Structures are given as structure tokens and as C-alpha cells.
Structure 1
Amino acid sequence: MVEASIPKKILLFGATGVIGKDIVDALVEAQSSFEKIGIFTSPGTAKSKADFIEKLKNSGVEVVVGDVNSAADVSKAYEGYDTVISVLGRNVLLAQVPLLSLAATSPTIHTFYPSEYGTDIEYNAASAAEKPHQMKLAVRKHIRENIDTAKLHITYLVTGPYSDLYIGKMHHDAAVEAGSFDVLGKKAVLLGTGQERASFTTMRDVGVLLVAALKTSTAEKERLLKVNSFTTTPNAILAEFERQTGGKWEARYTSLDKLKELEKQAWEGQSPISAVYTLRRIWTEGGTLYEGRDNGKIGEPGLETLEEQVRKQIQIQGGTLNG
């Protein structure tokens, strides 16, 4: 099997989104490893996020402005790059289908990373029926049925849930029962029995792991990397908060059965946070755990710890660190 070329010219879609910013930060920090880094963004975003765009330009990032739905704009943008990184958000994931098709016919693009960051959408047989997974599954189906992966190599970077969000305070009142850590109130809502293990990746580390994957040569046509920062439990997270803030917190639990009931009600009521309940139920059921993670396949990059994440969250919420 012919080994894929190492990515050197990276074009990012979705760089101004929630996780996109962490990924582009990691790419900029590692830019000496690449020949060129660029982002593709819309005219509207270029205007509404002008300060961020200017900051990227000053960091040496090329900014390509165009319409993601225009084959001409996308094809033109591809000419200067060999690798596409998609970080498109959940609601626009299907926009990757034409991006993939154009990449497959591009004379320069040889590698594509679909937007896979988050929960494993093919963890087990039940994954195929999970509502939040459907668009990502449709993208994988398109790849397997329509893309020649001997020419366009694919890497899925599956990170599991972002710990930054999981260990934060749930600001949507209706979603507090889906788990929350309130630093100032010293109150927590824990999921399940509190003993269920889940693997998390910090948002910073998503970028670190992506860069490590880009720098690792592979002969796999369709590479699936299941990576994470650390594995822990709700009780262990609470214990770390108590240690760092000093003193006992008030804690209550949302059982798995109760979480399923809330999930059902949310979908029936067409709640905008329905996916939150489903994903947190999946994590509580163990849907992020594997016999081994794939960090070693990409060089075991240095990652953040639970202790560091809790410290950050305390600072974000304006709390006081013990000692």
C-alpha cells in the first residue's frame, strides 16, 4: 500500500466556531511544521468576526473568503492546499458531502478530516439509531460509497465529549438535571450513580491531537483515531472541585432512568437541547470507553489533566482556589 503524503498545506472550514478556534490556535502554534495554513470563511463571518480574522492574518494564516455552497469558490480555494480539515458545526454537517466530492476530484487535495470531534457515532450497534449521530453517519456513508479513499485519504478524529463543557455550570435552567457544576454556589448535579466512567478531551487538546495526527504518517485509507485527554467519573470530578475550592459541595444525582425520561420528553417537545440529554445519556452508559485509546498511534502528545481542567473552570466561574 502506498503511504499517504504528509499534510503540509492545511485548509480549515469552520475555524470561527466553538471548537474551530481551539483547532486553529493549535495549528498556528505548530505552523513551523506546515508550509501553509488557511481558513475558508463566508463574507458575513469575515465581517462579523473581523477582529478574529485580522488576528489570524497577523499570525500568518491565509484567509479565503467565499461561499461554502459554491463549487467554484471551494474548488478555487483547494488549489493552494493538500489537506482539508472540516470543523463545521452539527447543524451544517451535510455541507461536507459536496466538500468531499470536490476534494476527491481536486488535483492537489490528498487528505480530508471530516468533522468527527465528539461522541463515537459507531461505538456499537445502537449508535445507528441515535438521533444526534444521523448527519455524521450520513457523511461516513457518503465517503464509503462514493469516495475513492486510495486517492483521498480520510481520518476521523473521535475525541469523545469536551470536558470544558461537561464540568461547567449548566446555564440553561431546563438542562441542569443533565449535569452541572456550580462553583460559586458549590452545588453539583451528577449523572448516574456518580461512579460511571467516561473519557473526555479538553477543547485545547482537540487541537493538540489533531496536529499530532496531521504530523503522523499513515498508510490507512480510512483512519479512525479514538483519542482522549483523560477518563474519570462524576464523583471524581466533584472531589477535585471540593479539593481545589476547599469545603464540601451540595450534590444530587440524576439517575440514568431519570436522564432517559428527560431525554424522551425533550425530543417529544422539540427542545433545542434534546441532543444534550441524548449525548450525556450515551456517555453515562459508557459510550466513550474503549479497551485502549489511540493516542500512542500519533506520538502520545502531552495533554491536559482533570486537575488542570477543574482549575480553569473555577477561574472561569470566578471562584477562589483553595490555597
Structure 2
Amino acid sequence: MESFKPSHILVFGATGNIGKHIVNQLISAWPPFPQISIFTSANTVSTKPDLLNKWKAAGVSVIVADVKDSTDVKNAYQGVDTAISCLGRGALQHQFELIKQADESESVRWFFPSEYGTDPEHNPGSAHEKPHTFKRAVRKVFAEEVKNLKPTYLVVGPYIEMWVPKDLVSGFDLQKREATIIGDGEQLIGFTAMDDVGKGVVAALQRPEISVGKALKIASFTKSSNQVLAEFEKQLGEKFNVTYISLDEVKSVEEKFWDEGNPLAVVAALRRIWVTGGAVYDRLDNEALGLREDQLQSLEEAVRDRLDEKPF
């Protein structure tokens, strides 16, 4: 695939949290991609007409079908050479059929699984993390079953937009000027803004000689929880009431959530992974992909965006 250039890209999960950002960046890419299509449901057509109409006006083709129907998927792949999955955690089980159908198609040769987040091969312990179950299974399929299809895995760490808000484990309550931080807050974390995930996908698509068959790691910026806190306090001109909780406390909450079948168990696990080095790497692929620092969001910009979402 050394001389391969994507000519028709199909996106699954395009209107979801990360899918919207990826599609917007595909649309604004230069040089432009010849053809962009999205695969979406009838329900999405009825609930998100403004977004779909905006994309149609930009030249995006909208395929209305059922991701659970293998015939629909097979038909959607006709003429497509590159597929991008942006499916959310609740729909990841459908990726296996998407990959199977893509591998069997006459045209699809490149597939981006929905890997945006932590790396299941980051260290020996990563392979045993429950949030990595589907990621490990997808990589196993590509390693052992796929014959014609090449993957690219994009690892981006936590989205800064979704890391900041306070949940039952940690985060920032901007209204109350409160923060809950795990450990001593000094562990570095590689954060990626959601728009920058889209830029990373575009950069990978534009450089198949670097990207095909690889697990690429990118980040908008690498900072500690305390550095993020300091930037909020600086821009607001106020100190936060900060609570530091131990890693053992987080592990206890996580274990309780898993036992209860609480979906927040995944959140607790990821929060723990991030503050134990699971989202910082010896080397990033930003430079190899041509992602310059001035193209990506800085911590200062990320905090300003969070504060601009509503008055405080």
C-alpha cells in the first residue's frame, strides 16, 4: 500500500461524540478527499437533520442503513477503499462484522477501528484492563483472521473535553470552583482535544506510508492534573477547593462499580489508568504525521474553551 491514496472514505458512528469531529476534519482537509460517505441510522436522520444537512451541503454522501445488518454493510462498502469506525463503547461489538465485511469486500483495504483512547499494548498490565477487552479482540482479529485489510490504530489518551467535568471519581466542578484529583496530581497525562483527534485521522490518511498497519500515538499536550488545575485558577483568577484522593480509594470505587455492573466502572478504570502512566508515551507520532504544535490545541486554549461553554 505504499502508493495507496484514499479515494472514498466511509465513516461509521459519524454523528457520535468523536465522529462529528472526525467528519468535520475530513471535510475541511486539504487537499480534499475525493469522496466522503457516512453510514447512519434512520433514527439519526430524524433526530439530527441539521447536522446531516450541513454535511450533505459540504458534499458528504449519507447512507441510511442498519449497522447490525450485514447485507446493509456489504452494500455500503461498494466502491469504498477506506473505512473509519467511530462507534461508541456501547456499539463496539458491531466492529467485528464491519471488519469481516470490509476484509471480504472487493474494494476496502484500510480500516481505522474505534481505538481513540488508551493503548491496550502500552505495557504488560494494559492487556488485562477490562476497558481494553474489545480493543484487544479487534487487534487479535487483524493479527489472526484478516487477509486483505490493513488497520491503523490511533491512540489519543483522554479527550480533554471529557476529562475535565467532575464525575463520581474525579474532575472539576467549575461552577463551585472545586476539584477532585487522584494521587498527588503530578503524573503527566497526554491529552487530546476532540478536534485534534480528527486532525490526527486526516494526517494518518494523508500519510499511508507511515500509518498503515501501525498504532499511532498523538497528543495535543502533555500536562499533569495539577498543571490543568493551575491553568483554570489562573484564567478564573480564583483558587479552587481541592480534594486529593488516593489511588487505593479509586481502586476500591472501581471494584465496587464492576461488582454492581455500574457503567461508571469503565470511567473509574480509565481515570486510574491515566494517573498511573497509561496515557503518556516515550515518543509521540505528532511530528511524523506532520502535526505541528501550532495546529493543535494548547492547555491554555483548552481551558479557555471549557470556560467559554457557559458563564461562571
Q: Is the 8 A contact 1:3 1:219 kept in 2?
A: no
Deviation, 1:221, is: 5.1
TM-score (normalizing by structure 2):
0.95
Kindly indicate whether the alpha-carbon contact (under 8 Å) linking 2:204 and 2:210 is maintained by their aligned counterparts in 1. Answer: no
One-letter identity of the residue aligned with 2:129: E
- The CA deviation at 1:184 is 2.3
Distance 1:220 1:312 in 2: 30
Q: 2:157 aligns with which of 157, 160, 174?
A: 160
What is the match of residue 40 of structure 1? Answer: 39
Partner SS state of residue 243, structure 2: strand
Unaligned runs of 5+ in 1: none
Aligned to 1:30: 29
Query: Once the 2 structures are TM-superposed, how far is the Cα of residue 97 of structure 1 from its aligned partner?
Result: 1.0
Q: CA deviation at 1:237?
A: 0.6
The SS at the match of 1:231 is strand
CA apart distance, 1:138 = 1.0
Query: What residue identity is the alignment partner of 1:102?
Result: Q
**1:180 has 2:171 as partner:** yes
Aligned to 1:113: 112
- Aligned partner (choices 213, 226, 229) of residue 222 of structure 1: 213
Aligned to 1:200: 191
Q: 1:158–1:224: 8 Å Cα contact kept in structure 2?
A: yes
Aligned partner of 1:235 among 223, 226, 236: 226
Q: 1:193, 1:5 → 2: CA distance?
A: 47
Residue 245 of structure 1 corresponds to: 236
- TM-score, normalised via structure 1 length: 0.92
Q: Which amino acid aligns with 2:49?
A: A
Contact between 2:204 and 2:211, CA under 8 Å: does it hold in 1? no
1:2-81 mapped onto 2 (5 Å cutoff): 3=2, 5-30=4-29, 32-81=31-80
Q: Aligned partners of 1:225 and 1:291: how far apart in 2?
A: 13
Shift of the alpha carbon at 1:69? 2.1
Deviation beyond 6 Å, 4+ runs, structure 1:
none
Q: CA offsets per residue over residues 128-155 of structure 1, 9 Å max, x none?
A: 221111112111111111112xx32210
Paired residues of 1:199 and 1:228 also in contact (CA < 8 A): yes
User: In structure 2, what is the Cα distance between the partners aligned to 1:270 and 1:254?
Assistant: 23
Q: Is 1:284 aligned with 2:275?
A: yes
* Percent identity over paired residues: 44
Q: Which moved more, 1:14-23 or 1:101-110?
A: 101-110
Q: RMSD between aligned alpha carbons?
A: 1.5
Cα deviation, residue 51, structure 1: 2.2
Name the SS of the counterpart of 1:39 in structure 2: strand
How far apart, CA to CA, are the structure 2 residues paired with 1:267 and 1:318? 36
Please say if 1:274 is aligned against 2:271: no
Q: Does 273-282 or 215-224 show the bigger shift? A: 215-224
C-alpha distance in structure 1 between counterparts of 2:276 and 2:217, whole Å: 17
Q: 1:193 to 1:317 in 2, by over 3 A?
A: farther
Query: Secondary structure, in 3 states, of the residue corresponding to 1:33?
Result: coil
State the match for 2:308 in structure 1. Answer: 315
8 Å CA contact retained: 2:113, 2:151: yes
SS in 2 for 1:18: coil
